[in-house]
Amino acid sequence: MNLLNQIKEKVRKAFVDCGLSAENTLVRLSDRPDISDYQSNGALPLAKSMRQNPRALAEQIAEKLRLDLFFETVSVDGPGFINMKIANEVLGKNLFPILADKKCGYERPDTSKTIVMDYGGPNVAKALHVGHLRPAIIGESIKRICRFVGDKVIGDVHLGDWGKPMGLLITELQDRNPALPYFDPNFTGEYPQNAPFTGKDLETMYPIASQHAKEDEAFAARAHENTKLLQDGHRGYRALWKHFISLSVADIRKLYDELGVSFDLWRGESHVHERLWKMIERLRANGTLIKDQGAEIIPLGKSKNGNDLPPVIMVKSDGGVMYAATDIATIEERVEEFHPDAILYVVDARQGLHFEQVFLASQKIGIAKNVSLEHLGFGTINGTDNKPYKTRSGGVPTLRYLIDTAKEAALKKMESGEMGRDLTPDEKASISQIVGVSALKFADLINERIKNYVFDEDKLTSTEGKTGPYLLYAMVRMKSVLEKMNEPATLLAGDTVQITTPAERQLLLRLYALPDSVQTAYDNRTPHVIADYLFKLAQDFNLFYHDCPIKDADKETQQSRLLLTKYTLHVAETVADLLGLQVPEKM
RNA sequence: GUUCCCGUAGCUCAGAUGGAUAGAGCACAGGAUUCCUAAUCCUGGGGCCGUGGGUUCGACUCCCGCCGGGAACGCCA
C-alpha cells in the first residue's frame, strides 16, 4: 500500500476507535511542510455536525495516532487540524515495496475503462502548424496517463480528409494540369500508382487554392462541386484523393514521430462515409431528420442551460455532408467497434458548441447510450501581444519551424559554455533534438489545459528555471552520478535510505507523493499536474545533489545516497514517460 | 444580442473535492564552484487573489451583480 493510503487507513482507524464516522477523514499532503508531512482536516466538519469542540475532537484522534510508531509527531493545530510527521525510519525502509514497481506506488481506486481518444486532427495536404501542437502533446500525455492507471486506450488521429479542402485541391490541380487522366471523364484505365506531385507540392498548393476560392466565385463554386463529386465517388477524384492522403500521412507521421506522439488508428473523416449515409437513411425513415431551408437537420432544442442550440446539419442543401455529421457517424462506429466507456476529444476549446451539439444529437438518436462523451478543450497559444501566436515575420509558425527553433537553441547552449564539450558532433545533434523537443513539449504541458497561454519565443529557447532542459539536466545528473560511481540502476529489496539532511527527507517525501498527482491528473485529465510534479521533483533532487556529497561521503552514507538517487531516477523516468518526454544519456 | 472561458507578484503561471502564514519560474539585487556537469544551488525585496455583495465557524476556491480580456453562435473544419 502506498504511503498516502497507509496514512488514510491509520487515520480512518483512529476515527473509528474514537467512535466517530470515518467517512470524511480529509487526509492529504500537508499545506504546512514546516510542521507536518500529512494532515487530516476531518475533525472540523465532524465537530460541526456533532456540535462539539473541533480541537478537543482532533485531540482525541491524535491521541490514538500517537500510539503508532509510524509517526514521529502528531499535533493538533489551528482550529483542529491534525498534523502528522512520518518517522524517518518508515520513509527510509519502504522504498522498495512501494516505489520499485512500474507504477511507483500508484493504486487504482476504481475499475479499468476502455477509452477512445481523438487528439490529432491534422488535415490532409496542410502542413502541421502551431495549432496542432497542443492536441498532439496534451493528447499523448493524457493517453499515457490513462494507460498508466490501467485503462485500455485506443488513440485515433482522425484525419481531416473529407471536406472542402479536398475539393479546393482537386480544382487547383485541374487548372494547373488539366491533361491528367484524373480529369478525363472518358478515362477507363488504371490510374498511376505514383502521384504526379509531392507532399511539399500539396502544402504549397493548398493556401493558393484557398486564396483563389476567396477571390474567384467561379473557382469556389467548382471546388464546391468537386467536393461533392469526390464524396459521391467520382472515380478519378478518388484516385487523386488517395494520392493526397498517402503523401500527407507520410509527412504527418514523420513529424508526430519526432514529437513522440503516436496513434493506434489513422482513420479519417472519410472512413465513416458509407456508415454515415446508412445512418442518414435510417434517420430519414424514422422521421428524425427534418427538412429546413433546404438542408436536413436534427433539431436540438434547448441545452441544459436552457438556451437555444443551433441544429446539427446532417445533409447540406447541396446534398453534401460536413464535419458534425461525420463526427456523429464516427461515434456510432467507435461505440460499435470498441464498446468504450468514454470517448475523449482533445480539441480546441473553441469547438465547444460543436461538441455540445454532436454529443446531444448522438444521445438523441440513441447511438451513445453507455458512453461518456468528453470534450477536453484547450486554450489557444498566443504571442506576447495576446493574439494568436505568429512568427517574427508574421506567418503562422509550422511545427517544423517550432521544433527546429527549439533544437537550434539547445545546440547553441551546448556550444556556448562548458556543457557537453566532450560530446561528438553526432551526439550534439541527437541530444539537441531531444532537448529541443522536450523544451517545446514541457513549455506547453506545464500550462493548464483550458487556458490560453502566452508563448514567448524566448521562453521556447530558454533553458533555465521551469523548463524542459532543467528537468532533463537533473535527470542526466542522476544518471551521471550512478555511472561515475559504477552503480547499477537496479533496485533491490531490503535496501534502506538513511535520512541525515532535510534535503534527503524532502526528496523522499516527494517520491512517495507521486500517486496523488497521478490521480488528480487522471481524474481531471490535466497533465500539467504531472508536469508540475516533475519540476518539483527535479528541484528537490538538485537541492539534494547540492547539499549531499556522494563521492566523498563515508561508505554507509554513500550507499544510502546512491540508493536515493536510483529511486529518484526511477520515479523521474516514469513521470517523464507520462508526459511523453524523452531523456538523453548526457547533455 | 445570447452563451462559454479567463482575470492571483513588474512579466509568465501553479494553487483538485472550501481550511492554517497564497506558492513557483523569469526579471531585479546580492552570494556559492580546488569537490559527483554552474543548463546548478542559496539569500532578498516584492500581493486589498479584477471589483461589490451573499453563503459559511472559515472563501483565491461556491452563488449573484458589475468591470476588463478572449472566444463561439445553420450549410468551412
Copy the grid coordinates of residue A75. Answer: 499535533
Q: How far apart are CA A310 and CA A239, in angstroms?
A: 36
Classify the phi-psi angles of A51: left when phi > 0, otherwise alpha if psi is within -120 to 50, otherwise beta.
left
Quick check: A333 and A362 in contact, CB under 8 A? no
- Distance in angstroms, CA of A484 to C1' of B74? 67
Predicted confidence at residue A304, as pLDDT, reads 64
Q: Which residues of chain A have pLDDT under 70?
A: 303-307, 417-420
- A5 CB-near residues (< 8 Å, 6+ apart): A107
**Alpha carbon separation from A252 to A129, A154, A245, A433, A445 (Å, rounded):** 11, 19, 10, 18, 21
- Distance in angstroms, CA of A388 to C1' of B46? 31
- Distance in angstroms, CA of A7 to C1' of B17? 19
Q: In what order do the strands lie in the sheet with A152-156?
A: A152-156, A114-118, A342-345, A372-375
Quick check: A98 and A138 in contact, CB under 8 A? no
**Alpha carbon separation from A510 to A413, A534, A541 (Å, rounded):** 30, 10, 10
Q: Where are the alpha helices (DSSP H) in A307-398?
A: 323-338, 352-364
Q: How far apart are CA A515 and CA A192, in angstroms?
A: 55
- A209 CB-near residues (< 8 Å, 6+ apart): A168, A169, A171, A172, A223
- A366 CB-near residues (< 8 Å, 6+ apart): none
CA nearest A29: which of A540, A516, A581? A516
Predicted confidence at residue A393, as pLDDT, reads 77
Q: How far apart are CA A244 and CA A270, in angstroms?
A: 13
Q: How far apart are CA A475 and CA A470, in angstroms?
A: 9
Predicted confidence at residue A273, as pLDDT, reads 93
Residue A585: nearest nucleotide (C-alpha to C1'): B37
Quick check: A21 and A38 in contact, CB under 8 A? no
Q: Does pTM surpass 0.90?
A: yes
Q: How far apart are CA A136 and CA A259, in angstroms?
A: 8
Report the relative pairing of strands A290-292 and A38-40 from DSSP bridges: unpaired
Q: ∠ at Cα A72 (A66, A77), nearest 5°?
A: 65
For every residue of A356-371, DSSP letters joined together read HHHHHHHHHTTS-TT-
**Alpha carbon separation from A13 to A17, A183, A260 (Å, rounded):** 6, 78, 45
Instruction: Collapse the DSSP code of A83 into the 3-class scheme (helix H, G, I; strand E, B; otherwise coil) and give the result.
Output: strand
In sign, the C-alpha dihedral spanning A61, A66, A72, A75 is positive
Q: Where are the beta strands (DSSP E) in A449-515?
A: 453-454
Nucleotides of B under 7 A from a protein CB: 2-6, 11-17, 19-21, 24-27, 35-42, 57-58, 69-77
Q: How far apart are CA A295 and CA A292, in angstroms?
A: 5
Predicted confidence at residue A425, as pLDDT, reads 86
- Distance in angstroms, CA of A426 to C1' of B7? 47
- Distance in angstroms, CA of A357 to C1' of B11? 39
Copy the grid coordinates of residue A305. Answer: 442551460
The ipTM estimated for the assembled molecules is 0.94
Residue A435: nearest nucleotide (C-alpha to C1'): B39
Residue type, A476: V
- A66 CB-near residues (< 8 Å, 6+ apart): A74
Instruction: Collapse the DSSP code of A538 into the 3-class scheme (helix H, G, I; strand E, B; otherwise coil) and give the result.
Output: helix
pLDDT digits (tens, 9 = 90+) for A370-409: 999 999 999 999 887 778 888 777 788 899 999 999 999 8
Q: ∠ at Cα A274 (A225, A158), nearest 5°?
A: 85
For every residue of A221-273, DSSP letters joined together read HHHHHHHHHHHHT-HHHHHHHHHHHHHHHHHHHHHHHHHT---SB--BGGGGH
- Distance in angstroms, CA of A338 to C1' of B16? 30
Residue A458: nearest nucleotide (C-alpha to C1'): B26
Predicted confidence at residue A418, as pLDDT, reads 61
Please state, as a whole number, how many other Cβ atoms lie within 10 Å of the Cβ of residue A144. 18
Angle, nearest 10°, between helix axes A235-259 and A399-416? 20
- A443 CB-near residues (< 8 Å, 6+ apart): A455, A459, A460, A467, A468
Residue A431: nearest nucleotide (C-alpha to C1'): B39
pLDDT digits (tens, 9 = 90+) for A90-149: 999 999 999 999 999 999 999 999 999 999 889 998 889 999 999 999 999 999 999 999
Predicted confidence at residue A306, as pLDDT, reads 63
Residue A31: nearest nucleotide (C-alpha to C1'): B20
Predicted confidence at residue A347, as pLDDT, reads 95
CA nearest A125: which of A255, A245, A261? A245
Q: How far apart are CA A186 and CA A192, in angstroms?
A: 16
Rounded to a whole number of angstroms, the distance between the first and last alpha carbons of chain A is 37
* B58 closest protein residue (CA to C1'): A79
- Distance in angstroms, CA of A364 to C1' of B52? 43
Q: How far apart are CA A2 and CA A6, in angstroms?
A: 6
